[in-house]
Structure 1
Amino acid sequence: MGIFDKLISSDNSNDPNKKLDKVLYEVPGTDTDITWADAVEGTLILGATGSGKSSGPAKHIAMAMLKQGFGFCVLCAKKDEKQRWIKYAEKAGRSEDIILFDKDNGLQFNFLSYEMNRSGDGSGDVFNASNMLVNLNEQIRILQSGSAQSDEKFWDNSLRRLISRTISLLKFSNQDINIYNIRKVIADSLTNEDIKLYSHIKSQASSQKNIPEQQKKEAQENLAAMVDGNYFVELLEICDTLPLTENLSTTLQYWRNEFATLSEKTRSIIIESALGIIEPFLVDGILKNQFSKGLSTDLMPENIIKNKKIIIVDFSVKEFGFSGIIATAIYKIAFQSAMERRDISTEEDPKPVAFFVDEYQNFCYPAMDSLFQATARSSWIATVYISQNLNGIIQVMGSSNAMARTKSLLSNMNLKYFASNSDYDTNRWASDMIGEHWVSTDNFSYDENAEIKNKSQRSERRRKVEIDDFTTLKTGRTANKFIVETVVFKAGKLWGEHKENYALASFKQK
C-alpha cells in the first residue's frame, strides 16, 4: 500500500472530533490544561533572544506532542535545531519516526513532480504545479524586499502563463516535469520569425505537392536538424502526432500565436523573470542537488499523516543562507497545501499534525500563511510559530497595511506565550490584548499635623499586565534556577483558581 492510499489506522471512533477534548499538557504553574482542540487553534511564542522561549514553552509543547504520537513537520532555522529535535524524539521514544531531510542524506524533493503525481483531487493540474513555482517566487521576493510588489500584476500574470504553458507542453509531450526541462523549453522557445521559418520548413518536408525531390530532402534534413538542436521544436513535433484536444490546441496556440508574437522587449523581460526563478536550481548546491529532480517517497507530506512521521527539514539559514530559506520554503508550501487537503473523516485514528517553525519571520509567506491558519483547525494542524517580536514579522508583511496584516495572521494563533522581551510594541500589543480591569484605590487628605483628615475610595481602569512587566520575566539558566517565565493568554480560556484570562507560567529548562 502506497503512502497516497486511503489513510487507515487502528481506532474505530465514529466521532473523531471527540478526541479534540483530550488533554495535551498542563501549563506549569497555572493548574490549567491545554487540549488537542486548543493546540489546533494555533500557538504563538514570542520572546527576545535568550529569553528561554525555545528551551521553555516550545520544548514543553514539543515533548507533549511527541509523546502523544503526533506527526511532525519541523523547519530548522538554526544549526543546533536538528540535534535538539533528535534528542526530543529519542526522549519521547520516537527516534524511529524521524525522517531527516538535509544535505547529507540523499533525499530529494522535486516539488513540481510531487504536485503532478500526488494523489487526490487536483493532482496533475498544470495550474497547481505552476502556482507552486510562482508562489515560491513571491515568497522569495517578499523575503528579499519586504514587499509583494502588487503593482507588477501584468508581469506576474505573464510569468504565470509562461510557466503554466511550459508545464503543459512538457506534460503533453510525456516529458519529465522538472526545473531542467522547464528551462530548456523557455530558453529554446521560438520567436515569431523562427515560427514562420519552422512552419515553412515543416510544410516543405511533409508536402505532398510536386516539389523537387532535392528541395524536399533538404527541408527534411533542416527539420531534423532543428528537432535535434532545439528542445522546444522537438516537443512541438511530438505534439503534432497527438490528437488535437482543446487543451492541446490552447497550449500550441499560446506558443505559436501569442508568446512568439510579443515584442522583443516584453518577451525578454518575461523570459528573464522565469529564468531568474529557475537559476538558483541550476548552480551547484542544495537546490540543484535536492529540489530540481527526484522525489523521495519518505518526504511526501502525506507520510506525516498516514505514518505519524517526524520530518525535520534542516537547511538552516545560518549555514545555507538564502538557499536555505528557499529550500525550506519549498517544503513548507508543499506541506501546507497537502495539509489543507486533509480529510479527517477518512482516517480511522486521526491525530493532529504538529507544524513547528522557529524563527518564523524567516519563513513567513503572508498570503498563504493567513489562509492556512484560518483553516488549520478543521485539518487538525497544530501550528507553533516562534519568533522574537511583532516587528520582525511586520517587516516581511510588505509595505501595505503591514501592521494590520500581521495582527490578522497572529489573531488566528489563539494560544499565545509571551516570554521576556524588550520590544515595546510587542509588549504593548500583549498588554492591550490581555486588557484592563477595575482597581480600587484609596485617596487620603491630611491636616497640618500630617494626620489623615479624609479618606475616600474610587475605582479606575488599569492594565492587568503592565507593559514593562514583560521585561522582568525570568529567562532561565543558572541565575534563575533554570526557570523560564511567560505570560500565557488564550481568548475563551480562564486560568488558575482566580479564573483570569491570562496567567504567569513557569517552565523548567532541565
Structure 2
Amino acid sequence: MIWPFRKRPPPIRDRWDLSAPLFSINGRDTFTVGDACQGIQVFGSTGSGKSSAVVATIIRSYLSAGFGGLLLTTKPTDRDDYTRWCQETGRFDDLVIFSPTSDLRFNPIDAELRRQDAGAGLSENIVALLENITNIGERNQGQGGGQEDASYWKRTNRQLTRNSVELLTMATGKLSVPDLYRLVISAPTSRDQLRSEEWKNSSFCFQCLVEAERKPKSPQQQTDFELVADFFLIEFANLSDKTRSVVVSTFTSTLDVLNRGTIRELLGTTTNIRPEAALDGKLILIDLPIKVFGEVGMAVQILWKYCFQLAMERRDIRENSRPVFILSDESHLVAVAGSDQKFQSTARSSRTATVYSTQSISNYLTALGDKGDAAVYSLLGNLQCQVFTQQTDVKTNTYASELIGRTRQYLMNANNSYQTPNFFELFPDTQGQLSTGVSETYEYEVQPSVFATLRKGGPPHFQVDGIMYQGGRQFSQTGGPWTPVTFSQQF
C-alpha cells in the first residue's frame, strides 16, 4: 500500500549529471560538471601558479569524477606531473601513454575510414582531415595576396586528394599516408605515358586503377570509379606541366609531415588506440612534449586534438554520458584557427570539458598570425569560464578588466580655498571656503593594475590568487559574474 502522505525518495541522479559538483570555489560556490563542459581558459605569467595550482585543481577534480580525457604535453616534466595526478586520484589504471617508446599507434585517416557510424568512409571527411594537416604548417603565417589564385589551387588540391583517397580505398580497402604518396607521384603525367608498358608495370597508381576496376561494385560505386578513372587518365594526365607540378607539390608537401620517421610510425601504420577510448574512461597522454620533439611533437598533438574533437562531436550522450576533457597547458602552441573555435561552440552538447592554459592573449595572437584577432576572441568567447592569475601582459590585463565590465561608481571630491591675508591690516580676514561634491563615473570594476599584484604561490603559504569570470553566473561574494578566488598548490 502506498501511503498518500509518505515523502517520496529523491530521484537518483546520474553520476555525471550536469549539476554534480566538482570542486568548491572559496567555500561559497561550487564548480559543476555543467560548468566544466562550457570550457575553461587559464591565463597567468610564468611562475604565477596557473599550472601548479589552478590547472592541477581543475584536472584532479575531473579525474576524481571519472572523466575520460586527452592530455597534451609541452614540457618534459608534464608526463610525470600528469601521471602523479592520476595516481593520487586513483586513475592510474586508466592512463595510457602514446609515445615513440610505447606500442600504441593511431592512423587517423584509416580510422576515419573505418569508424562505426553513418558517416564512416566518406572521402570528404578524410579530405578535411588531411587539410587540417596543412593548417599545422600554415597556422602562424599570413594570408598574403592573390586570394583568387589561392582559392583555385586549394580547390584543385582538394580534387586530387579526394580522387586519391577514393581510388586507394576502392583498390585496397585501407588508407595510409605512404600509399597516398606513392599513388600521386606515380600518376600519369602525359597521354603518351598511358601507352607505356614500363609506366604501367612500375606505377602504383595504375595498379590501383586495375585492382579497383576488377573488384565487384554496386551501381553507385561503379559511377564513382568512372569519375576517379577519368580524373587520373584524362584530366590529370592532360594538365600542363606547370599546373600539375604545383598541384602535386602542394599535395606531397601536405603529406610530408606525416611521411617521415617518428610520425610515420606513430600515425601512418596501424591503429590500436582511438580517441573514443576516452568514452570508456581512458586517459590518453600524448608523450611527445613540444619542448623536446619540436615540430614533430606539435604536429602529432594537433592531429590528436583535432581527431579527438571530431570523435566527441559524433558521440551520442544518450548512450554514454561520461564527460571527457582536453588538457592543453601552453595551449597557444597547439591552437588552430577555425577548428578550435568551431568545436568549442558546441562542446557542451558533447560533454567535452576543454581546459586551455597559456601566459597571455598575446601568445595566441602571435601563434595565429594575421588570423589571430578574430580567431582568438571567437575561441575565448566560447570558453565561458576564464581564470586570471598574476599577469604582466598589458593586453591580457585590459581584456580581463573589459570582460568583467564597468560599473557606476561615485567619486567624492573636496576643495579648500583661502584668501591671501593682507599683512597691513591689524586683524586680517583669513577665513577660507570648503567645497565638496560627488561625481558619477563608469569605471572598471577590477582595474588592470590589480592583476599584477596577485599572489603567485610558493612558501610559506603556497596560495595562488586569481580572478574567476564565468558568463551568466552570480557569485556569492560579488553578486556578479566574477569573484576573487584562491587555489592551493598543496594537495
TM-score, with length taken from structure 1: 0.86
Bigger drift between 187-196 and 112-121 goes to 187-196
Query: Aligned letter for 2:95?
Result: I
User: What is the SS of the residue equivalent to 2:129?
Assistant: helix
**TM superposition shift of 1:502:** 1.3
Matched, 1:287 2:263: yes
Please list the CA deviations of residues 446-485 of structure 1 after superposition, one character each: whole Å capped at 9, or x if unmatched: 243797723333332221111111111111112x621111
Q: Identify the residue that residue 178 of structure 1 maps to in structure 2.
A: 176
Identify which of 374, 391, 395 aligns with 2:345: 374
Bigger drift between 481-490 and 422-431 goes to 481-490
CA contact (8 A) 2:96 2:282 kept: yes
How many residue pairs get aligned? The number is: 463
Q: Identify the residue that residue 203 of structure 1 maps to in structure 2.
A: none
Q: Identify the residue that residue 456 of structure 1 maps to in structure 2.
A: 437
Q: Identify the residue that residue 53 of structure 1 maps to in structure 2.
A: 50
Query: Aligned letter for 2:70?
Result: C
CA contact (8 A) 2:414 2:436 kept: yes
Unaligned runs of 5+ in 2: 1-10, 419-429
CA contact (8 A) 1:46 1:419 kept: yes
Q: Identify the residue that residue 321 of structure 1 maps to in structure 2.
A: 294
Matched, 1:252 2:266: no
**TM superposition shift of 1:189:** 0.6
**TM superposition shift of 1:332:** 1.1
Q: Identify the residue that residue 276 of structure 1 maps to in structure 2.
A: 253
Please list the CA deviations of residues 204-240 of structure 1 after superposition, one character each: whole Å capped at 9, or x if unmatched: xxxxxxxxxxxxxxxxxx4xx5544221121122233
Query: Aligned letter for 1:471?
Result: A
**TM superposition shift of 1:263:** 0.5
- 1:159-174 to structure 2, matched below 5 A, reads 159-174=157-172
CA contact (8 A) 1:101 1:312 kept: yes
**TM superposition shift of 1:396:** 3.1
**TM superposition shift of 1:148:** 8.8
Identify which of 462, 472, 475 aligns with 1:492: 472
Matched, 1:504 2:484: yes
Q: For 1:78 and 1:450, locate their aligned partners in 2 and report how far apart those are by CA, in whole Å.
A: 71
User: What is the SS of the residue equivalent to 2:349?
Assistant: coil
Query: Aligned letter for 2:300?
Result: A
Identify which of 399, 422, 438 aligns with 2:408: 438
Please list the CA deviations of residues 251-288 of structure 1 after superposition, one character each: whole Å capped at 9, or x if unmatched: 1111111111110011011111111122233332x202
- 1:127-166 to structure 2, matched below 5 A, reads 127-143=124-140, 145=141, 147=143, 151=147, 152-166=150-164
Bigger drift between 436-445 and 500-509 goes to 436-445
Q: For 1:14 and 1:255, locate their aligned partners in 2 and report how far apart those are by CA, in whole Å.
A: 61
Please list the CA deviations of residues 473-498 of structure 1 after superposition, one character each: whole Å capped at 9, or x if unmatched: 111112x6211111111121122344
Q: Identify the residue that residue 18 of structure 2 maps to in structure 1.
A: 20
Q: Identify the residue that residue 187 of structure 2 maps to in structure 1.
A: 189
Q: Identify the residue that residue 277 of structure 2 maps to in structure 1.
A: 303
Unaligned runs of 5+ in 1: 1-12, 199-221
Bigger drift between 480-489 and 419-428 goes to 480-489
Query: Aligned letter for 2:132?
Result: N
Query: Aligned letter for 1:395?
Result: T
Closer, same or farther in 2 for the Cα pair 1:450/1:83, shift >3 Å? farther
Q: For 1:70 and 1:359, locate their aligned partners in 2 and report how far apart those are by CA, in whole Å.
A: 21
Closer, same or farther in 2 for the Cα pair 1:455/1:326, shift >3 Å? same
CA contact (8 A) 1:444 1:452 kept: no
Q: For 1:317 and 1:415, locate their aligned partners in 2 and report how far apart those are by CA, in whole Å.
A: 26
Please list the CA deviations of residues 42-86 of structure 1 after superposition, one character each: whole Å capped at 9, or x if unmatched: 111011111110011111101111000011111111111111010
Identify which of 432, 451, 465 aligns with 1:470: 451
* Bigger relative contact order (CA 8 A; separation at least 6): 1
Matched, 1:337 2:310: yes
Query: Aligned letter for 1:310?
Result: L
Q: Identify the residue that residue 242 of structure 2 maps to in structure 1.
A: 265
Q: Identify the residue that residue 384 of structure 2 maps to in structure 1.
A: 414
Query: Aligned letter for 2:437?
Result: S
Closer, same or farther in 2 for the Cα pair 1:406/1:18, shift >3 Å? same
Cα RMSD between the aligned structures?
A: 2.2
CA contact (8 A) 1:109 1:293 kept: yes
Q: For 2:48 and 2:433, locate their aligned partners in 1 and report how far apart those are by CA, in whole Å.
A: 46
CA contact (8 A) 2:40 2:383 kept: yes
Matched, 1:233 2:206: yes
Q: For 1:106 and 1:149, locate their aligned partners in 2 and report how far apart those are by CA, in whole Å.
A: 45
Closer, same or farther in 2 for the Cα pair 1:14/1:147, shift >3 Å? farther
CA contact (8 A) 1:72 1:304 kept: yes
Closer, same or farther in 2 for the Cα pair 1:277/1:110, shift >3 Å? same
Closer, same or farther in 2 for the Cα pair 1:481/1:364, shift >3 Å? same
Q: For 1:72 and 1:506, locate their aligned partners in 2 and report how far apart those are by CA, in whole Å.
A: 25
Q: For 1:255 and 1:273, locate their aligned partners in 2 and report how far apart those are by CA, in whole Å.
A: 17
Q: Identify the residue that residue 364 of structure 1 maps to in structure 2.
A: 335
Please list the CA deviations of residues 76-114 of structure 1 after superposition, one character each: whole Å capped at 9, or x if unmatched: 111111110100000000000001111111211111111
User: What is the SS of the residue equivalent to 2:17?
Assistant: helix
Query: Aligned letter for 2:253?
Result: G
Q: For 1:302 and 1:150, locate their aligned partners in 2 and report how far apart those are by CA, in whole Å.
A: 41
